[in-house]
Amino acid sequence: MIYTDRARLGRTLVRIALSNRSKSSGAVYHAMAALASYHRGHSEIEVDQLKHAALQNLHPGDNLDLYDVVEHIAANLLLCVVEVCKTHAENPIYSFNTDAADSCKELMLDQLYLWCETDDRDSETI
Amino acid sequence: MIEIARQYNSTHNSDISLMLGWVYYFDIMARFTIRHWRTEQVEAAAKTLGFNSQGEKSCVIQYILARDSFAKGVPDLAAHSNSTVQLLAEVSDIAIYSSEPRYATADYQRHLDDLRLKLEAEVISDSDMIHTTKSDSTFHDQNILRVVCLAALIYLERVSRNFSGQSAKLDLWTNQGFSILTKLDSCLCPFPLFILGCEANKDEDRIVILNLYSRMENQPYLRSVMESRSLIQTAWNQQDLAHEGTLEYIHKLNLVISSRDLLPSFI
């Protein structure tokens, strides 16, 4: 995200995840936990279990209200981020016409911390 | 789900608007990387060198799905984003190759000129805000928006004109960009880092980029952009190994973005 929306997004995700409002808010909670678990360096099995827990809570019914829709989109995007992080960590760098340095895979992102960060510069609370 | 979301009359600051803005940003950044991913020219080079130019099976499937999805576009989400992201979306949609039918039309050239003017205006207006604000967080945010606009201008100038050399304009935007980066403790938006990184041909400019990444590494939660550093280093390798003036800008971006087995992510 372009920076100005990031802090607000983080606070909103945490609020939704902790609301315990519905199954889909539980999906947001588990998707965030999967991302955090990944960045904490927990085992792949643990990350996958949390991912599956999120997915199990994502069964859209016929009568979705606005909150359900927000929660579904949030959970799906978080799961996208988890997948992006995981797949890029596991896949190699090609060198087409140079001996590009085989840079070791970088330390992975901890976006959950970023999003959940209590920004000292910003007095707005979750 | 997005279709359902759009049926609600959401206000700009609502949760649903925030989520749709997030979707929009994902979409733009994916469009940006996919347009430089494994072009025919790169695929041919990869095959010659014995690489599997298609990447992983899962990647091929994702690529097909993404192509299909992007062909349809995601209309009406721009309103959920700020003006800088909207301009970035337009820049990510400019024609890359002269073979595209719109490339030489007068309307399209006018559109490019308008886009350039809007981006320049955005850089100036952000600059004004920087001088008038006293808040650290606003100062930081405005610097980020400004550096995004400068990177978009550089990309626009180079790609729309298929220009790989140096010019006074490009030097100005690049220097302004590096000047901002020296002031930042972090820049969590990989796009401007990548574009400015690709302009860093001198050691002192590369040090600016590397120092910023070092500052980010010192912060425990800021490790998301390290993939972009790796991409920038690949670009530098390409640049250093090319004979002077022989590496075209678009081809360089194509090579660098295609150098990963999966589409790089700028989210």
Rounded to whole angstroms, the Cα distance separating B65 from B36 reads 16
Q: Mind listing the pLDDT tens digit for each residue in A1-30?
A: 665 677 888 889 999 999 999 999 999 999
Of residues B95 and B56, more confidently modeled:
B95
Q: What value does the mean pLDDT take over residues B32-59?
A: 68
- Chain B: give the shortest CA distance to residue A95, in Å: 6
Asked if B191 and A76 count as a contact pair (C-beta separation under 8 A), the reply is no
The two tokens of residue B130 are 């920087």
pLDDT band, very low/low/confident/very high, at B243 (cuts 50, 70, 90): confident
What residue type is assigned to position B30 of the chain?
Answer: A
Whether A96 and B261 lie within 8 Å, measured CB to CB: no
Whether A96 and B58 lie within 8 Å, measured CB to CB: no
Select the residue of B19, B81, B222 nearest A70 (Cβ to Cβ).
Answer: B19
Of residues B258 and B159, more confidently modeled:
B159
Could you tell me which of B65, B19, B168 has the C-alpha nearest to residue A12? Answer: B19
Of residues B253 and B260, more confidently modeled:
B253
Whether A94 and B261 lie within 8 Å, measured CB to CB: yes
Phi, psi of B158 (to 5 degrees): -75, -45
Q: Is B9 helix (H, G, I), strand (E, B) or coil?
A: coil
The beta-carbon contacts of A72-76 under 8 Å, at least 24 apart in sequence, are: A72/A24, A72/A27, A72/B1, A73/B1, A73/B2, A73/B5, A73/B16, A73/B19, A73/B20, A73/B22, A73/B23, A74/A12, A74/A13, A74/A16, A74/A28, A74/A31, A74/B19, A75/A24, A75/A27, A75/A28, A75/A30, A75/A31, A76/B1
Select the residue of B15, B258, B260 nearest A91 (Cβ to Cβ).
Answer: B260
Whether B144 and A4 lie within 8 Å, measured CB to CB: yes
Select the residue of A80, A84, A94 nearest B259 (Cβ to Cβ).
Answer: A94
pLDDT (0 to 100) of residue B39 = 72
Mutating which of B137, B217, B225 best tests the A interface, going by the most A Cβ atoms within 10 A?
A: B137
pLDDT (0 to 100) of residue B258 = 84
pTM for this model (two decimals): 0.82
pLDDT (0 to 100) of residue B140 = 85
